[in-house]
Amino acid sequence: MKIKISLVFALSFLLVFCPNFLFAQEEEMGDLMEMSLEELLEVELDYGYKESPVQVHTYMNTAFWSFDEQFWGSYANKGGSYAGYPLFISYSGYISVSAQINPKLFAEAEFELYKGEKGQFKVCRLRQVWTPSPHFRLTLGRDFPAIGVQDKVYYPTSQFRLIALAPYLYLQILRATGWWDSGIHMSANFPVANDIKIMADMSIINGPGDKHHSSSNYLLNKMKPNSDGYMYENFHSKARQPWDNNKSKHIASRLAISPIKNLEVGGSYMFGKYDVDDKYNADYVWGHLLYGGKKLTIAAEYGQLMVDVNPNNFKIQSTDSTWGNDLNKTFGASKVTQYSYYFSAGYKLFQNKGIEYFEPLFRYEFMDSWKEDKLDKGDRNLFWFGFRLSPIKHWVIKAAYSVQTEPYADIDNNGMIVESVIDF
């Protein structure tokens, strides 16, 4: 690395100790003296080149949360860190640094300033994107895997992220290794006729895995009911890993069709082992429908996680240290199936009439954290009512209130969230 700032110190030394020498060399140093301070302070790196156009983009969102005591915990009846009291939170700030190396090669590094906490950030995308033709793209590095459509609905700036809080489908059923994962990602599209298009995607990634090191704390032992009979729901909070933990690589594939403009319908599937011994599967099945018109927005998805577990997880231990009776009538089962689906819609009003738009919206969700459970303790319905308001371009205010109902027992988990999102 060459640092031109050293020239400043050299000039200072000559002015003080060797003024005659300096003025004698005035003609030779004329060009140097005409250099601006900015040019003198420039740092030349051993990589990169000035001809590469670099862009920096950011979005940030801040929110006010207020949810009841048993909202969004590791179990349906156990509250999470955002439950039980009102909370102002600088939720996220995203910084994307990207460069179009040439018409076919693109690179991006994206980081999240995590929840506004001091010193907290996480890597989102670190990807190299090669597009040899308009119909094929190859991505190397960390990116959204080809399961679900989180690449279209994840960001708060997305048209399809109608409600500030992501649905249970993403919070509990699919998070991969934190929404993104490292590996090889391929995308292809095939124009058929007029506006009809078929899209295919595939990812080979590390996938969810067990980052724990003691046998008593393996992820495998997390997937079991608590003493109240509710199944553990935060599989992915323990399945994130910086590196892979086994020989198995998860393979995700997605196929979708766009039969008319602005409409996409498709499905995806991902499978692979998640434990350190390569014995237990974590498989996913997904389906989606997205419609993004000028006024009407519709997003609907179904997702299912099937996790192989040890049958002993479904036994409860009695006080005399012997295995007790069957819990939730699931004795002998070796799999936990969790699934969820949602339907959301919004319709823009007052477009370009003093504001960008005002959009009333609605979302219905269903969540079942333990399909095999005969008591249906993990079942719940969730209704969201709210709006999006964009006073000016690149600024969106979202507000919504949620009401949840449970067929087995009422859970204290209603609430509301107001969010402001700015991107630039």
The count of other CB atoms within 10 Å of the CB of residue 300 is 18
121 forms beta bridges with: 113
Q: Does one domain contain both 165 and 41? A: no
CA gap 66, 273 in Å, rounded:
38
pLDDT of residue 13: 41
- Structural domain count of the chain: 2
In this structure, what is the dihedral angle of CA atoms 161, 251, 211, 152, given to the nearest 10 degrees?
Answer: -10
The residue among 35, 36, 34, 42 whose CA lies nearest residue 6 is 42
pLDDT of residue 2: 37
Q: Which residues of the chain have pLDDT under 50?
A: 1-17, 19, 21-29, 32
Q: Does one domain contain both 178 and 36? A: no
The residue among 131, 123, 125 whose CA lies nearest residue 143 is 125
pTM comes to 0.85
Q: Does one domain contain both 166 and 37? A: no
Could you read off the pLDDT of 101-113 as tens digits, one per residue? 999 999 999 998 8
Spatial contact of 129 and 106, defined as CB atoms under 8 Å apart: yes
List the alpha helices (DSSP H) in 117-226.
Answer: 150-153, 168
CA gap 121, 249 in Å, rounded:
26
Could you read off the pLDDT of 163-202 as tens digits, one per residue? 999 999 998 998 866 789 999 999 999 999 888 999 999 9
CA angle in degrees (0–180, nearest 5) for 247-248-253: 150
Q: Does one domain contain both 310 and 367? A: yes
Buried (b) or exposed (e) across 43-76, using 16+ Cβ within 10 A? Answer: eeeeeeeeeeeeeeeebbbbbebbbbebbbbbbb
**Residue 31 belongs to what domain range?**
1-47
Q: Does one domain contain both 85 and 183? A: yes
CATH number at residue 332: 2.40.160.10
Residue 34 has, within 13 A of its CA and on its CB side, a CA count of: 6
Q: Does one domain contain both 42 and 173? A: no
pLDDT of residue 317: 59
Q: Does one domain contain both 77 and 18? A: no
93 forms beta bridges with: 60, 113
Q: Does one domain contain both 331 and 362? A: yes
Spatial contact of 363 and 163, defined as CB atoms under 8 Å apart: yes
Q: Does one domain contain both 272 and 395? A: yes
Q: Does one domain contain both 130 and 63? A: yes
Q: Does one domain contain both 274 and 370? A: yes
β-pairing, 196-205 vs 181-193, is antiparallel
Q: Does one domain contain both 41 and 64? A: no
pLDDT of residue 9: 42
